[in-house]
Copies of this chain bind each other. A is one copy, B any other.
Amino acid sequence: MPASDSLILFEGVAARIGVATILRDVDLVVVPGESVGLFGANGAGKTTLLRVIATLLRPSGGSARVLGVDLASQDRFDIRPRIGLIGHKPALYPELSLLSNLEFSARIAGLDLRLARKALDQVGLAQAATRLVGESSYGMQRRVEFAREIMLDPDLLLLDEPHSALDPSAIELVEHIVAGVLERGGAVVLASHDVEKVAPMVTRTAELAGGTVA
């Protein structure tokens, strides 16, 4: 099928933060079942590109479609629940327990609360469910983030450096999650610096340099 079937269809996309130009002329097509590894030096714009794809930063130019929706239109709000993003820093409330954090997400997403406990179990944190995020190790916090995506089950999964702070057993889990998304006809874009570790999870790679995808 042609590009209309793509989950991500970027043509000449540019992005700015304030007055600084971060991305320009980015072309990127990702079709269902594809997993793209995004590489590039520090500061190349990987995180920024992921946020643009996630509808969180509006492109300042070019044509950008995600999950069939133009990012310049109001429809972009409708696709947000179908997108999952795990960034550099955990998006957790340090004053709440690991479980409460997941339950909050479940409530907002309108999901059964039991899914929260189940997901926590799947990432190996069942025993630590009532521990506060602020009293958990960094790797445990990252695991909770993956538990959230297991629970939310997005069609488009965006991962920023998925390996950092995860021990080998947790990395297997990530591979499992990625495989799951792809099987269901979703797509994954993951930014990383580690070609080898990422290899088992990606179907192809792209390189960001000079603000554009080479």
Q: Which A residues contact B (CB, under 8 angstroms)? A: 17-18, 20, 40-43, 47, 88-89, 128, 135-140, 142-143, 161, 163-171, 193-194, 196-197
Contacts and interface: CB of A to CB of B under 8 A. Distances in A.
Given A42-B170, A164-B165, A166-B193, 14 more contacts: A17-B135, A41-B139, A42-B137, A42-B143, A42-B166, A88-B165, A89-B138, A161-B164, A163-B164, A164-B164, A167-B193, A168-B193, A171-B193, A194-B197
Contacts of A47: 137-138
B42 A139 contact: yes
Q: How many copies does the complex hold?
A: 2
Nearest to A88: B138
Which of A41, A142, A163 has the largest count of B CB atoms less than 10 A from its CB? A41
